[in-house]
């Protein structure tokens, strides 16, 4: 799913980026760079999905991408659709009219992405699917993390945590998947988790796809599942928000059991330190933004994408019967002994994590 909070790196980058409000859709836009545009018009357009499912887009993606384009002297315009499909499409149409050569897009749903990609293709604009692939679309490139691997790490991590808790044989688990109704990444997370669980003969007593990645829905889903089977020994939760929804109910019953997560959010890390959550999956947005910007810059300046120093692999789109060139980055499992990796990467600071009651947990974990 999506990322979390302000990092040291993001603070430094944001300070260097000028952000202004423009476009008829009133989405936040950042434009700069002088190279590749000739007339001063942007040659790269970026559209991010929202500011509500995660604050990663304003705190990480936008400033990191903009800084990369600035450094390369490539003029870019970056907008946020604020959860509106119509705004997303309107922003794309505006960028295409301006004459961008490349669109880097992360729509909240594939239908919006497919619509934009059709218009871009008609205008000979190259498209990069960013973070989420639009199955059935026409983009040639895809930059994300290995999302099936994320699910595999969650599945194996949960089994490891259950074994450590003395429940390694035929464990009783509840599986709360992400928003498979809107996000192919959620489908891949689910597939990866089942790849591990099925191979070990572990079948969740209750499994639910949390619609729209909605944490409120997740809370209701888990409460209902817990009511059905309060003897649950572990929870495979697709991300930290869903994990927190489950942990809230568990806390009401004074229970601490292994729970997985994803995104290395402040709360997720705090719950790991306090023992309420077993692990989270860390996907460093710095790496994702760096790879995407390198690819976009190469395409916008007429260079061979291979010259960007990226490693491509084939990604099959079964709905579109096509193969995309993909950059799939490696996620990392974060358990209590690995929390320092998130801090070292600049994604979070000790000051953000070690607040209130969690200060003692940080001290015990050697974090200061």
Distances (CA, A) of 68 to 7, 45, 270: 17, 13, 31
Q: What is the pLDDT of residue 108?
A: 87
Q: What is the pLDDT of residue 39?
A: 55
Domains of the chain in start order, with CATH, are: 8-145+284-331 (3.40.50.2300), 147-283+333-364 (3.40.50.2300)
- The single residue listed with the structure tokens 């000979």 is 124
Per-residue pLDDT at 4 exceeds 80: no
* pTM value surpassing 0.75: yes
How far apart (Å, rounded) are the C-alpha atoms in residues 79 and 116?
14
CB 80 within 8 A of CB 74: no
List Cβ neighbours of 254 (8 Å cut-off, separation of 6 or more).
none
CB 76 within 8 A of CB 46: yes
Tell me, rounded to whole angstroms, the distance of Cα 129 from its chain centroid. Answer: 13
pLDDT digits (tens, 9 = 90+) for 92-123: 999 999 999 999 999 988 999 999 999 999 99
pLDDT digits (tens, 9 = 90+) for 195-208: 999 999 999 999 99
Per-residue pLDDT at 6 exceeds 70: no
How far apart (Å, rounded) are the C-alpha atoms in residues 141 and 326?
6
At 140, is the pLDDT very low, low, confident or very high (cuts 50, 70, 90)?
Answer: very high
The pLDDT > 70 percentage for the chain reads 89
Q: What is the pLDDT of residue 227?
A: 94
Q: At what angle do helices 8-16 and 62-72 cross, to 10 degrees?
A: 50
């Amino acid at each position: 799913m999506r990322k979390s909070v302000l990092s040291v790196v993001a603070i430094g980058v944001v300070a260097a980026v000028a952000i202004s409000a423009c476009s008829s859709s009133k989405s936040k836009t950042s434009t700069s760079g002088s190279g590749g545009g000739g007339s001063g018009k942007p040659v790269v357009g970026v559209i991010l999905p929202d500011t509500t499912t995660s604050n990663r887009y304003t705190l990480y993606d936008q400033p990191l991408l903009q800084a990369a384009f600035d450094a390369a002297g490539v003029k870019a315009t970056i907008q946020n659709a604020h959860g509106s499909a119509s705004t997303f499409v309107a922003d794309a149409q505006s960028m295409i009219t301006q004459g961008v050569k490349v669109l880097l897009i992360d729509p909240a749903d594939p239908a919006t992405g497919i619509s934009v990609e059709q218009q871009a293709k008609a205008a000979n604009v190259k498209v990069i699917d960013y973070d989420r692939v639009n199955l059935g679309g026409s983009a040639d490139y895809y930059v994300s993390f290995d999302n099936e691997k994320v699910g595999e790490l969650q599945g194996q991590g949960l089994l490891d945590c259950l074994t450590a808790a003395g429940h390694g044989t035929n464990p009783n688990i509840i599986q709360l998947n992400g928003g498979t109704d809107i996000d192919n990444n959620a489908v891949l997370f689910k597939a990866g988790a089942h790849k591990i669980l099925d191979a070990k003969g572990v079948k969740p007593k209750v499994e639910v796809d949390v619609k729209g990645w909605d944490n409120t829905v997740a809370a209701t889903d888990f409460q209902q599942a817990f009511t059905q089977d309060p003897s649950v020994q572990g929870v495979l939760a697709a991300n930290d928000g869903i994990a927190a929804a489950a942990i809230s109910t568990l806390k009401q019953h004074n229970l601490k059991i292994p729970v997985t997560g994803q995104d290395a959010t402040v709360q997720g890390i705090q719950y790991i330190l306090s023992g309420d959550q077993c692990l989270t999956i860390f996907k460093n947005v710095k790496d994702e933004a760096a790879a995407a910007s390198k690819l976009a810059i190469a395409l916008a300046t007429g260079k061979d994408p291979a010259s960007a120093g990226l490693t491509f692999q084939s990604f099959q789109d079964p709905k579109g019967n096509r193969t995309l060139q993909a950059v799939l980055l490696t996620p990392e499992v974060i358990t209590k002994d690995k929390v320092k990796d998130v801090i070292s990467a600049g994604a979070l600071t000790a000051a953000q994590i070690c607040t209130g009651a969690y200060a003692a947990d940080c001290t015990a974990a050697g974090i200061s």
